[in-house]
Structures are given as C-alpha cells and as structure tokens.
Structure 1
Amino acid sequence: MTVRAAETTTSAWIRRFHPAPAAAARLVCFPHAGGAASFYFPVSRALSPDVEVLALQYPGRQDRRTEPCVEDLGTLADLITRELGTWCDKPLALFGHSMGATLAFEVARRLERDGVRPCALFASGRRAPSIHRDDRVHLSSDAELLAGMVRLGGTSAQLLEDPELVGAVLPATRADYKALETYRYAPGPALHCPLTVLTGDADDQVNLDEAAAWAEHSEGEFDLEVFPGGHFYLAAQAAAVIAAVRGRLATEVPGLAR
C-alpha cells in the first residue's frame, strides 16, 4: 500500500467534518446498515482536534444516492481499503457499529495484509465475524424492513412517515443488509492490533458470548465494554463511548491525552 501525506480535500467516500491536520491520530468511522457518515458528526466534534475523524460515506445514500449500492461486504472492504491508503501517514484507528463493525474488521485485515497495522479496532453492536446467524432481513417486505429499523432504535418512526425519505433510505438499507447477511467469515491470520468490543446489555442482535468471541480475532489486547441499552445504546451512552475510545487511543498513541 502506498502511504502519502493526506490532502485537505475529501473524496466521495470520506467526510472530514472537523479537519485537524495536527491531530495525533485519525479515527475512521464505519456506519451501520442504512447509515451515513453524518451519524458520526458528534463523534468528530467531540474528539477534534486531538483525533481527526474520517467518517465513511457508502454509495447509494445522501449525496451518493445516485450511485449503485455495493451489495457485497468483501467488495466494499476492498474499495474502502484502497481509499484509506491516502490517510495512513499517522496512526489510524477504526470504529464500526453493527454492519460497520464487521466491515471495519475486514478493512483491518486488509490493512495489516498490506503492511499497515491499525493502532486500534473498535467493534460496536455486532457479534464476532466467525459467528453466523441465518438472518434474512434483506428478503423482508418494505413494511417489515421499515418496522425492523424502527424497532432497533436507529430510525425515528415519524421520519419514516415521509414517503420521499422512505424511498431514499430503503434501497441502501436493503443493500447493506444483503451485504452483511451474505457475508461469510474466511479463516485467516488473527489481527495484531488492540481490539475493543462495545455492546449494549439489552441488544438482541448480539449476546455477551457472541461479543466476547471477538477475542479470538486479534492477538492484541482485548477489551469488552458493556453499556446499558439496546442495539443503538451508543446514542444514549455517547459520552461514555467517546471516553472509552479516547482512553484506548491515548494508550496506543504517544502524545494523545485522555
């Protein structure tokens, strides 16, 4: 992988809400299924200027809504890994929630394969990649898919009463679920970077055993952080989650204060 100093401009893939050229490290944030880069705007604001947040924008949503969605998680990981080659001139950490956690893991594997070791991987709200459930949400009807989004807590029921908004978010959400649910973990070398797993104690998408199973996927230091709440626990627990992220990064990155 070619590593060069990052430019101030962003690509279609990356949103740099609070540019911080002097930051000690960068944190790449991977959205959940149906999610967008804007989900991580508060994280960027909270960590800047010590840590520069790069929030990923997948195709098929918001300002990329005219682009075809990527329905294969491995392909998406390949595209993102290639994009991040520009940003590896300083310590790079990865944070993903739900689908984003599995995707961040696959990107971390590719980065390490290419000689770039992330300084930390944060996997939130997702069971270990090696644990498979036979989920088929992407085959649901539109009404079932929308009801599931509301039930998980990441989307307001009131917003989904807007037909225009539904038409904008539904295709990307379905494509993301297809990418996640057709993903199959391919055995390979464990990561070497520190791995922090974060989960809600009432999340029916991942139980504590499934969260703890992430430990087998890295030879680096492993931490499991459990917070009150369901699948989108991190909305109500934002301050505590950000503190956990900052604390781990401060351990790994010289000069970064807690």
Structure 2
Amino acid sequence: MFPHAGGSASSFRAYSAALSSHCRVLCVQYPGRQDRVRDTLVGDVQGLARGVAADIARLEDGPIAFFGHSMGAVVAFEAARLLQQADGRGPARLFASGRAAPARPPRGTTPLVHLMSDADLTAHLRQSTATDPRVAADPDLLEVVLPPLRSDYRAVETYSCPPGRQIACPVTVLVGDKDPLVPLENAAAWAEHTSADCELVTFPGGDHFYLLPSHDRVVEVITDRLGRTPAAAPAARNGRSTRHVEP
C-alpha cells in the first residue's frame, strides 16, 4: 500500500488491520518520516518507485497487488513498470485510488504547493481532511512534517508520463465522485495505461480522502478483486475503455 503525498505507512493502519485476514499487508514508508525520519528525502516519483521496486524484488515469490492513493497511485504504477521490465514479476493487480491517469495530472493549485512558503504550506496542510489539526498547530511537529510534505509535492508536481505508457496487469480505479482534484473522465483514462482490463469504482459523495468515511466499502472492493487474482482478467478491452461499476 502506497500512501498519499505527506502520508506515511501508518496512514493505512486501519486498512492493514481489516485486510490482514485476507492477505499479508505491507505498507510503504517513504524516506523522511516516522521510522525513516533521518533518511534522505526523495523528491521525484521515479526515485520513490525505484526504492520500492528494489525492496519488493527481495520479497519471496508469490502474487502481489499494489494499492496506491493519490501520489501513491503513480508511485505504484512506476514501481510496477520497473518490476515488469526487470524480470516480468509485476503486480497481479493495481488499485489506483484518488488519482487521475498518469498522463493526465490532477488539478493542482497556483502557485505550486512545493514552491509555497512555510506559512502557506502550513495553511494548505490545515485544509486537508486527512491531517490531524494538532499537527498544523504544533511548531515542533511542523518542523518534522513540512520537509517531507514539500518533497512529496515536488514529486507530484514535476511528474510527467507520456500517453500510452502501460503496465500489463488489470487496474481497479477508485475515486470519490466529488473529488475536486480528479474529474471522473481523468480517472477513467487509467484504461490507457494498461493492456489488461480496467474498471472505475466511484464512491458517491466522496472527496479526495473518501478512503476515511468509505473504509468498509473500499475493503469490500479490495477483497473481492483480490479473490479474482491471479486468475487472468479479460484483456479484450486492450486498455481502450473503462468499465464503470458501483461498489
């Protein structure tokens, strides 16, 4: 599971607990936070993907699925590409959550977040429904939180992907239908980035962090799709269209 910009492995604590009876859950910890607070920050998506791919390559053989939210979705996508290129051992399925297709960046802000002053970046942090309000109110915590947050936004805002760059596994796209950063047509465009099947699952009334209020329904979607993996998914669509389903 790959966290959002500014997120950490603990962002998925509840999901890890809910899914642990179905599979072994591994949560990515990007450099510069929590137990990796002293590690050098990585401010580009490709660099983050290389680090994750190298760790995953050392795991025991067996089917693996990726779930990435927001920035985590494109880090997961690029890590999947690296693994496939290296030895063909990519994920059996990619869950791309809260993120426009790689070649269609999400709607951002002006100025770019990673270029904001510390004061403006703190204000931006306060607006996030995924952030504990106590973090933005604590100067000591901000000293720890702001550098990796800025680095992650640099990665997001400088990432680019050419149209047609693909992975070979099925993709399940999950998005709140009220997400201001991800128009549904841009979420559906993930179909352009897989040679296998692609489906779009929308969560009514959900915003960018729909994962919090929709926890139980998201777990149902994940466990249902994992139950279909690694059986071959239909590939007749050849990445040209996305099937839209309700969770």
Cα deviation code 1:214-255 (max 9, x no counterpart): 11111211110111321111001011111101111101147x
Partner residue, 2:154:
178
Cα deviation code 1:195-227 (max 9, x no counterpart): 001111111111111111111111211110111
Amino acid at match of 2:134: Q
Q: Give yes or no for contact 2:108–2:181 (8 Å, CA) kept in 1.
A: no
- SS of 2:127's partner is helix
Structure 2 residue 212 is the aligned partner of structure 1 residue 240: no
Point out where structure 2 has 5 or more consecutive residues left out of the alignment: 232-247
TM-score by length of 1: 0.83
Tell me by how many angstroms 1:145 deviates. 1.6
CA distance in 2, matches of 1:107, 1:138: 23
- Pick from 9, 25, 40 the counterpart of residue 68 of structure 1: 40
Amino acid at match of 2:97: S
Tell me by how many angstroms 1:88 deviates. 4.9
Q: Give yes or no for contact 2:8–2:28 (8 Å, CA) kept in 1.
A: yes
Amino acid at match of 1:36: S
CA distance in 2, matches of 1:122, 1:61: 24
- Pick from 103, 107, 127 the counterpart of residue 151 of structure 1: 127
Tell me by how many angstroms 1:187 deviates. 4.9
Partner residue, 1:117:
90
Tell me by how many angstroms 1:58 deviates. 0.8
Cα deviation code 1:110-142 (max 9, x no counterpart): 111121131110011111110135651100122
- Pick from 53, 56, 59 the counterpart of residue 84 of structure 1: 56
Point out where structure 1 has 5 or more consecutive residues left out of the alignment: 1-28
Q: Give yes or no for contact 1:152–1:231 (8 Å, CA) kept in 2.
A: no
Q: Kindly report which structure 2 residues correspond to 1:27-106, keeping only aligned pairs within 5 A, or say none.
A: 29-106=1-78
Structure 2 residue 189 is the aligned partner of structure 1 residue 213: yes
- Pick from 138, 141, 163 the counterpart of residue 165 of structure 1: 141
- SS of 1:52's partner is coil
- SS of 2:160's partner is coil
CA distance in 1, matches of 2:37, 2:152: 13
Moved over 3 A (4+): 132-135, 186-189
CA distance in 1, matches of 2:154, 2:123: 17
Partner residue, 1:3:
none
- Pick from 116, 129, 151 the counterpart of residue 140 of structure 1: 116
CA RMSD of aligned residues (A): 1.5
Structure with the higher fraction of residues in strand conformation: 1
Amino acid at match of 1:161: A
